[in-house]
């Protein structure tokens, strides 16, 4: 019996540990992007992560940014 040829690997074909590792990497990437507090970087990372998840057959990634209305003593704001 010949093994079935797979043209592309999707999330449904992956072992749960592989999926978890991919999602952990995406989560850490998003956390690092948000720590920069640079909206251009955050938007770029969101777009790349969204395309990566869709490439593997997932629904994608969407971020919701909540801005802390309180100011830090130096007058800056923090992004959460």
Q: Which pLDDT belongs to residue 49? A: 97
Q: Which pLDDT belongs to residue 45? A: 97
HSE-CB of 17 using CA atoms within 13 angstroms: 0
- Among 28, 23, 25, 37, which residue's Cα sits nearest to residue 65? 37
Across the strands, what pairs with 79?
67
Question: Are 49 and 26 contacting, i.e. CB atoms less than 8 angstroms apart?
Answer: yes
SS3 57: coil
Q: Which pLDDT belongs to residue 72? A: 62
Which residues are CB-contacts of 62 (< 8 A; sequence separation ≥ 6)? 46, 50
What are 25-80's pLDDT values in tens digits? 999 999 999 999 999 999 999 999 999 999 999 999 999 988 777 666 666 666 65
Residue 18 CB: number of other CB atoms within 10 A?
A: 13
């Amino acid at each position: 019996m010949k093994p079935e040829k797979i043209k592309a690997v999707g999330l449904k074909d992956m072992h749960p540990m592989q999926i978890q590792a991919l999602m952990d990497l995406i989560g850490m990437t998003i956390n690092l992007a948000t720590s920069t507090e640079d909206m251009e970087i955050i938007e770029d990372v969101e777009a790349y992560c969204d395309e990566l998840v869709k490439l593997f057959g997932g629904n994608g990634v969407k971020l919701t940014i909540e801005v802390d209305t309180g100011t830090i003593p130096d007058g800056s704001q923090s992004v959460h």
